[in-house]
Chain A
Amino acid sequence: MSYPPNYRYTREHEWIRLENDTAAVGITDHAQEQLGDIVYLELPKVGDRFSATQPLGTVESVKAVSDIYSPVTCEVVDVNAELAAHPELLNQDPHGAAWLVKVRLADRAQLDGLLSAEQYEAYIAEEAVKSDK
């Protein structure tokens, strides 16, 4: 699966996509592949506030439980209700239908500190080499 060039990415494997006033946040294809079959999600409530790199939820697969970190300082304005009943969407369409939350950004400039698609792909390739050595 390719990494959309208009998204920004974190080293903790989240993505963020700007949409007018707000932004959608999700986990990357690489993240879902590493986790395996996702069975449960814990997401924040509308109105919750997070600072950048703070955990905003958790994702649980058959293999592991992992925190989801907020890529930016933000307030949650919408939560993807579909995922509670269909966590498998995260495995099927991580960059699209399986967005987790929509947020209002405190400071758009924080996006500049995140990775581009190209940088993210280089990062996961480098990680794979490290774990293979």
Chain B
Amino acid sequence: MKKARPHVNQNEGLIFEHSSPGKRAWQLPPLDVPEVDPAAALGGDHIRESIGGFPEVSEVEVVRHFTRLSTWNYGVDTGLYPLGSCTMKYNPKVNEVVARLEGIAGVHPYQPDALAQGCLKILRLLSGCLLEITGMEAITLQPAAGAHGELTGILLVRAYLESRGNPRRKILIPDSAHGTNPATAAIAGYQVENIRSNALGTVDLDVLRRAVTEEVAALMITNPNTLGIFEENIGAIAEILHARGAQLYMDGANMNALVGMVRPGDAGVDVMHLNLHKTFSTPHGGGGPGAGPVGVKKHLEPFLPVPVLEKGAGGRLRLIHHRPQAIGRVRAFTGNFGVLVRALAYILACGGNGLKAATQDAVLNANYIRKGLEDVYDLPYKQPSLHECVFSDRLQAGHGVRTGDIAKRLIDYGFHPYTVSFPLIVHGALMIEPTESESKEELDLFIEAMREIAREAEQEPQTVLAAPHTTRVGRLDEVTAARRPILRWQEPIAE
């Protein structure tokens, strides 16, 4: 194990458990205004004497508490984070510097347009960059995440079809799709119909032709799909849909394989979302809110959520809040502005050539891993891989070792696991996406670890089945945690 070795880290309870009455981490200056009785000001009913179980700790205890917890963590700043479909690329620190600039960090969303021209210019510039990258014709930056972008996009499709007299009933979704796609369609009031992939792992045009009727509102396709395979027939797919008046939605979660190489707009896509927290290096999930801008073709533009950014007289930028056909608002103000700033910082720092090189490196890295592992792990679909590769646990399953076991063992080797058991069309899937961020050295360490685990699975399966061995906690009881979760701390009853 070249990458990892055990090291001491400290136990840490919940912050509530550090509490003792009267400890403080703050000090207020003497009161220099007349004291007001809160009960008199707010009414007695709104006042309570104490907050039950509220932790009382000192400053150093708070700092140590969170610092200790942070040492248990594994992040993209620790090492390779090959979670397939998530594009866990490095988030350059310059993004953070830019987002903290005073004029950007301190802007208030209610600031009049006239006093926020710089920030509006940021939104306009980012919109322009994303339109150029995707080949779409209009965009909203509001949605706060990928699935939120999907919902916005499908609501746009519905509004457009309604304006033509019939919203239609069904959304088609390939069986290799992200799980959020069917959820989106259902929430937008559509029935979901699954489309079986062909033996190559891509959309079967004959199956699609049969499925596209006048009832179909749209097909939601991910390209490259969740197998990391490019849907080469995307142009033909668009034609089949358009011939019956249906729309083509593209889930842009895997845009990291296309930026600078292929523009979905050129391939006939009508509406798509981007995940700025994947492709454009803004923080993921717990690291901060996301952003899922939605790009559309001209015919969908009248329905975009408000406010919409416009250039008025004298080049002044302004937000237009009233548009008769808009689907309404999908998020407060203009979306997660701080995230949008980070994405723009990344795009401008990379430049066009840099973005293209990032795409090529992401694909190269995935193929390097594929080549390094394909003799010891089963590769069910042999089409060329783009930004990720999907193996199955078929060869290891004979020894009782499944994808989840291999993932747990990988933690011992110092890596975050890959995506387990997804996509569903591969039984026992190992979905690996290295991104362009990784050096050859880090990839070699990963390949070596995975090869060593394959050997263990064959020669000493118990080592893999009982993993992880070196972590703070061993295998968790995931079933009980899911069936009977304990979701909040409760104060111990005094004896």
Genuine A/B complex: yes
B421 touches A54 (CB 8 A): no
Decide yes or no: A62 and B192 within 8 Å by CB, A131-B427, A132-B394 being known contacts.
no
How far, in whole Å, are A63 and B179 apart by their CA atoms in the complex? 13
**Which one of A40, A64, A67 lies within 8 Å of B482 (CB-CB)?**
A40
- Contacting B at CB under 8 A, from A58-74, are 60, 62-65, 67
**B483 part of interface (Cβ distance < 8 Å):** yes
B483 touches A87 (CB 8 A): yes
* B residues near A63, Cβ cutoff 8 Å: 404, 421
- Contacting A at CB under 8 A, from B167-202, are 179, 182, 191-192
How far, in whole Å, are A39 and B424 apart by their CA atoms in the complex? 18
- Contacting A at CB under 8 A, from B388-438, are 394, 404, 421, 424, 427
Q: How many A-B residue pairs have CB under 8 A?
A: 24
B483 touches A54 (CB 8 A): no
What residue in chain B is nearest A132 (Cβ atoms)?
Answer: B394
**A88 part of interface (Cβ distance < 8 Å):** yes
Decide yes or no: A62 and B479 within 8 Å by CB, A54-B191, A55-B192, A131-B427 being known contacts.
yes
* A residues near B182, Cβ cutoff 8 Å: 67
How far, in whole Å, are A131 and B392 apart by their CA atoms in the complex? 10
A88 touches B421 (CB 8 A): no
How far, in whole Å, are A87 and B483 apart by their CA atoms in the complex? 8
**B37 part of interface (Cβ distance < 8 Å):** no
B479 touches A39 (CB 8 A): yes
* A residues near B45, Cβ cutoff 8 Å: none
* A residues near B404, Cβ cutoff 8 Å: 63
**A78 part of interface (Cβ distance < 8 Å):** no
Decide yes or no: A64 and B483 within 8 Å by CB, A54-B191, A55-B192, A132-B394 being known contacts.
no
Decide yes or no: A39 and B394 within 8 Å by CB, A64-B421, A65-B179, A131-B427 being known contacts.
no
Shortest Cβ gap from A70 to chain B (Å): 12
* B residues near A67, Cβ cutoff 8 Å: 182
**B77 part of interface (Cβ distance < 8 Å):** no
**A121 part of interface (Cβ distance < 8 Å):** no
B482 touches A39 (CB 8 A): yes
* B residues near A64, Cβ cutoff 8 Å: 421, 424
Shortest Cβ gap from A39 to chain B (Å): 4
- Contacting A at CB under 8 A, from B419-467, are 421, 424, 427
What residue in chain B is nearest A133 (Cβ atoms)?
Answer: B380
* B residues near A37, Cβ cutoff 8 Å: 478-479, 482
Number of A residues with CB within 8 Å of any CB on chain B: 15
A62 touches B427 (CB 8 A): no
What residue in chain A is nearest B193 (Cβ atoms)?
Answer: A53
A14-47 Cβ-contact flags toward B at 8 Å (1 or 0): 0000000000000000000000010110000000
A64-107 Cβ-contact flags toward B at 8 Å (1 or 0): 11010000000000000000000110000000000000000000
What residue in chain A is nearest B485 (Cβ atoms)?
Answer: A39
* B residues near A40, Cβ cutoff 8 Å: 482-483
What residue in chain B is nearest A86 (Cβ atoms)?
Answer: B483
What residue in chain A is nearest B425 (Cβ atoms)?
Answer: A131
What residue in chain B is nearest A66 (Cβ atoms)?
Answer: B424
B191 touches A39 (CB 8 A): no
* B residues near A88, Cβ cutoff 8 Å: 483
A62 touches B424 (CB 8 A): no
* B residues near A87, Cβ cutoff 8 Å: 483
* B residues near A132, Cβ cutoff 8 Å: 394
* A residues near B478, Cβ cutoff 8 Å: 37, 62
What residue in chain A is nearest B192 (Cβ atoms)?
Answer: A55
B482 touches A62 (CB 8 A): yes
What residue in chain A is nearest B378 (Cβ atoms)?
Answer: A132
B483 touches A39 (CB 8 A): yes
* A residues near B191, Cβ cutoff 8 Å: 54
* A residues near B424, Cβ cutoff 8 Å: 64
Shortest Cβ gap from B277 to chain A (Å): 23
Shortest Cβ gap from B408 to chain A (Å): 13
What residue in chain A is nearest B422 (Cβ atoms)?
Answer: A64
* A residues near B179, Cβ cutoff 8 Å: 65
Shortest Cβ gap from A33 to chain B (Å): 12
How far, in whole Å, are A63 and B483 apart by their CA atoms in the complex? 13
How far, in whole Å, are A60 and B424 apart by their CA atoms in the complex? 14
Shortest Cβ gap from A31 to chain B (Å): 13
Shortest Cβ gap from B170 to chain A (Å): 11
How far, in whole Å, are A88 and B424 apart by their CA atoms in the complex? 22
* B residues near A55, Cβ cutoff 8 Å: 192
What residue in chain A is nearest B426 (Cβ atoms)?
Answer: A131
Query: Which of A39, A40, A60, A132 is most buried by chain B, counting CB atoms within 10 A of its CB?
Result: A39
How far, in whole Å, are A132 and B398 apart by their CA atoms in the complex? 11
11 contacts between A and B (CB under 8 A): A37-B478, A37-B479, A39-B479, A39-B482, A60-B482, A63-B404, A64-B421, A65-B179, A67-B182, A87-B483, A131-B427
Besides A39-B483, A62-B478, A62-B479, 8 more A-B contacts (Cβ < 8 Å) are A37-B478, A37-B479, A37-B482, A39-B482, A62-B482, A63-B404, A65-B179, A88-B483
Give 7 nearest A-B pairs by CB, closest first. Answer: A39-B482, A37-B479, A131-B427, A63-B421, A39-B483, A62-B478, A62-B479
Which A residues are closer than 8 A to B by beta carbons? 37, 39-40, 54-55, 60, 62-65, 67, 87-88, 131-132
